Amino acid sequence: MSDEPSNSESQRRGVYILPSLFTTAGLFFGFYAIISASRGHFDAAAIGVLIAMITDTLDGRVARMTNTASEFGKEYDSLVDLIAFGLAPGLVMYFWTLKDLGKTGWVISFIYVAATALRLARFNTIAAEDKRYFIGLPSPSAAAFVVFWVWSMHDFAATGMLVAVLSSLITLLAAVLMVSSVKFRSFKDLDVKSKVPFIVLIGFVIVFALISFDPPRVLFLMSAAFVASGLVAWGLRLSKGQEDWESIIKDPEDLVEQEKMQSKSKDEKS
């Protein structure tokens, strides 16, 4: 009997290199953002988190396209997300202005990091029935909301206690929304392979032109618009009686179970 491991055992014990490269790139740029912020280079820190967001989008798509998805990749991606979209934004905000609030500042920064960890743990253990929505603000979107605020305000050379207070409120809002049950569009139902009207292509060109014209402000406004979209949609459902005030802190497992019951009821009626 040969002592050499079989090919199937070698594949089972190894890791897929291609998606892991993108995930590792996200880890690198998250770490780069922390180092840049500690040296006062907040524009570079924001760009680092932005690149980490891009690699986070690519690693999953590459894994699905190449049929190289694995449990290792899933766990590795979550750990990297905690650093790139939790620790990095929290420290970027702290180094920029929250440090001026003393102990309160680092506590707020820690709350954001802890909320990111809870958000990722919940995402990995609770599968939403309706794939069109995320339950709670996704950690990359929360990171964008925080670091692009820093980038835009730093570009304005904004300082002072008022800026520190506003920054703390933005950080806490992002943290609360991550662990809330407010629904945000995932856009997973969009078919990127289908044809679209020509005007849509023009719209993308305009968006790219605006971003290149003033990246800090445009990117922050885009991230703020996404955050507002979830809150506005929740407010509309609340006004129609489809939601109640407790739904914002409802247990996600109960929410998923409710979605299953509603889906089952629709199937029975049809």
Domains of the chain as residue ranges with CATH: 15-188+196-257 (1.20.120)
Composition of the chain by helix, strand, coil, percent to 5: 75, 0, 20
Q: What is the pLDDT of residue 195?
A: 72
User: Is residue 10 within a helix (H) or strand (E), and if so which, with residue range?
Assistant: helix 7-13
Q: What is the pLDDT of residue 135?
A: 86
Q: What is the pLDDT of residue 181?
A: 85
Choose among 46, 219, 223: nearest CA to 137.
223
Output the pTM of the full model.
0.84
Q: What is the pLDDT of residue 192?
A: 60
Q: What is the pLDDT of residue 1?
A: 43
Choose among 73, 81, 148: nearest CA to 117.
81
State the DSSP code for 127.
-
| Sign, Cα dihedral of 241, 245, 248, 254 | negative
**Distance of CA 58 to CAs 49, 62, 226, 238, Å?**
14, 6, 20, 35
Q: What is the pLDDT of residue 251?
A: 61
Structure tokens at 243: 């939601």
Question: Strand, coil or helix: what is 155?
Answer: helix
DSSP string covering 20-68? HHHHHHHHHHHHHHHHHHHTT-HHHHHHHHHHHHHHHHHHHHHHHHTT-
Which class for 225: exposed (0-12), middle (13-18), buried (19 or more C-beta within 10 A)? exposed
Q: What is the pLDDT of residue 244?
A: 63
Q: What is the pLDDT of residue 99?
A: 94
CB atoms within 10 A of CB 212: 9
Predicted confidence pLDDT, tens digits, the chain (270 residues): 444 444 444 445 566 788 889 999 999 999 999 999 999 999 999 999 999 999 998 988 888 888 888 888 889 999 999 999 999 999 999 999 999 999 999 999 999 999 999 999 988 877 666 677 888 899 999 999 999 999 999 988 888 899 999 999 999 999 999 999 888 987 766 666 667 777 878 888 888 888 888 999 999 999 999 999 999 988 888 887 766 666 666 665 555 555 555 555 555 555
